[in-house]
């Protein structure tokens, strides 16, 4: 018997969470116009790719659970003329064997076949985030089925949110997913090393970005996992700065937040390093503080520990350090209670990571922070951002933005850092960059 594919196993896991007489409907998404008649590069919706491994636009998957489980895929038919202009299509005839689905139909037959597939089912599962785009079609299909009631046909009576069961599955990574994430992480590491080397001979942020993303592609990543951030000096105090067009201040730090995507999975790393290869004393002291906070957060992560513990660990270290440096004044306990740290550290310490860089999955269960469990992957990314607008802070700290981020897998024993291989301490960074000159 042929072994089931990764995507078949994912479908089976979702079927196990679905009640009988139900159907889940998942779309790949449509191409979007970038300018005039040119489209953005298409990437299939993560939920759809997780269940199919298929990346063509205008495709829809039906997963039907009745006496037995059935997967039905609607996709674009073969069209030689269109394929000459826009690229090859898998086509209906090849879909069942290539993708291990039970049935395949042309997307042009969706309305006709949906009325057959939905007969005598009780519940329709769709993502409520995408409900507006589904409501018209589902209403039409149900209305048409209701007209057949005298033929003994019943229509679904419930619309349920697919996100809850499907995203809980995606939160816990399988062995194959972990291997993909290790690869995405290590390609990301290589890109960041290329950025650290490139800054020594670059004048502008976009030149460093070019070296970073070229290294991703050289190592098999087809695209970035998110828009790369390459931020010099005061730009590093803007959390989602993506213009990457400023001249690099050679006396300042450069913050690079970027990740490669590999086989649908994201890496996410932030490095901060001196553009000259040498930290100033204020830069080094703040950097060492952020690194200490990151270590405290990572060391706290293990099964059975509440998700918020890592954030609490980082803000404890950061607040103590800011008081020691004279940037904050007062009792550490009271400053934490008053959230005084938010002036300089305004975001969380991390987020789930997977197919999406800010991956799916609940952070709380029953209004309580959930516990870490093996198979979860989370980023750890404390930071400090002191812009010149903080006029009550000694100017020697101004325009220093630092974030240090790694990708962490929760294991049975504790955790594993997936993004190993980067120089992280002040000494390591300076020595590594000196060796590149």
Q: List residues with catalytic annotation.
A: 37, 240, 257, 268, 347, 351, 358, 381, 385, 403, 405
Residue indicated by tokens 């000494």:
427
Q: How far is CA 436 from the centre of its chain?
A: 31
**Strands 223-224 and 103-106, how do they pair?**
unpaired
Cα-based distances in Å from 271 to 116, 142, 255, 425: 54, 52, 6, 11
CA triple 52-373-415, angle to 5 deg: 100
Q: How many residues does the chain have?
A: 437
User: What is the 8-class DSSP label of residue 117?
Assistant: H
Q: Residue 307 half-sphere exposure, CB side, CA atoms within 13 Å?
A: 20
The DSSP output letter for 360 is -
Report residue 269: phi and psi, to 5°.
-130, 140
d(CA 9, CA 242): 37
Residues 6+ apart with CB under 8 A from 193: 215, 421, 422
How many CA atoms are closer than 13 Å to the CA of 213, on its beta-carbon side? Answer: 18
CA angle 36, 30, 183 (to 5 degrees): 105
Contact 155, 114 (CB under 8 A): no
Which residue, 330, 327, 300, 337, is CA-closest to 396? 327
CA distance 270 to 22: 43
């Amino acid at each position: 018997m042929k072994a089931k594919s990764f995507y078949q196993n994912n479908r089976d896991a979702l079927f196990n969470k679905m009640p009988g007489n139900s159907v889940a409907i998942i779309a790949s998404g449509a191409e979007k116009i970038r300018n005039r008649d040119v489209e953005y590069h298409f990437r299939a919706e993560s939920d759809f790719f997780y269940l199919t491994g298929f990346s063509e636009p205008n495709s829809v998957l039906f997963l039907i659970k009745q006496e037995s489980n059935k997967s039905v895929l609607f996709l674009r038919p073969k069209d030689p003329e269109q394929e000459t202009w826009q690229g090859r299509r898998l086509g209906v005839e090849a879909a069942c064997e290539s993708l291990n689905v039970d049935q395949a139909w042309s997307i042009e037959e969706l309305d006709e076949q949906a009325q057959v597939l939905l007969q005598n089912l009780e519940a329709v599962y769709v993502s409520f985030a995408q409900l507006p785009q589904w409501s018209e079609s589902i209403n039409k299909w149900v209305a048409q089925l209701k007209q057949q009631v005298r033929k003994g046909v019943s229509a679904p009576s419930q619309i349920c949110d697919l996100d809850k069961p499907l995203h809980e599955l995606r939160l816990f990574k399988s062995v194959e997913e972990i291997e993909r994430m290790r690869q995405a992480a290590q390609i990301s590491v290589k890109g960041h090393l290329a950025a650290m080397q490139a800054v020594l001979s670059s004048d502008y942020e976009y030149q460093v970005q070019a070296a970073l993303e070229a290294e991703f592609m050289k190592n098999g990543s087809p695209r970035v996992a998110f828009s790369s951030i390459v931020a010099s000096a005061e730009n590093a105090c803007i959390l989602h700065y993506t213009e990457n067009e400023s001249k690099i201040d050679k006396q300042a730090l450069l913050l690079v937040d970027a990740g490669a995507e590999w086989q649908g999975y994201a890496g996410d790393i932030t490095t901060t390093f001196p553009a000259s290869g040498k930290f100033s004393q204020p830069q080094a002291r703040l950097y060492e503080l952020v690194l200490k906070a990151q270590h405290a957060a990572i060391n706290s992560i293990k099964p059975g520990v509440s998700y918020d513990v890592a954030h609490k660990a980082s803000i404890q270290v950061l607040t103590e350090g800011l008081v020691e440096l004279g940037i904050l004044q007062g009792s550490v306990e009271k400053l934490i209670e008053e959230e005084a740290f938010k002036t300089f550290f305004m975001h969380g310490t991390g987020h789930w990571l997977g197919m999406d860089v800010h991956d799916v999955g609940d952070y709380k269960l029953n209004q309580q922070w959930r516990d870490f469990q093996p198979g979860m992957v989370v980023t750890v990314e404390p930071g400090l951002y002191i812009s010149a607008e903080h006029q009550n802070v000694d100017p020697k700290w101004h325009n220093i933005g630092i974030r240090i981020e790694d990708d962490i897998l929760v294991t049975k024993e504790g955790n594993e850092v997936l993004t190993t291989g980067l120089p992280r301490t002040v000494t390591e960074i300076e020595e590594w960059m000196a060796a590149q000159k």
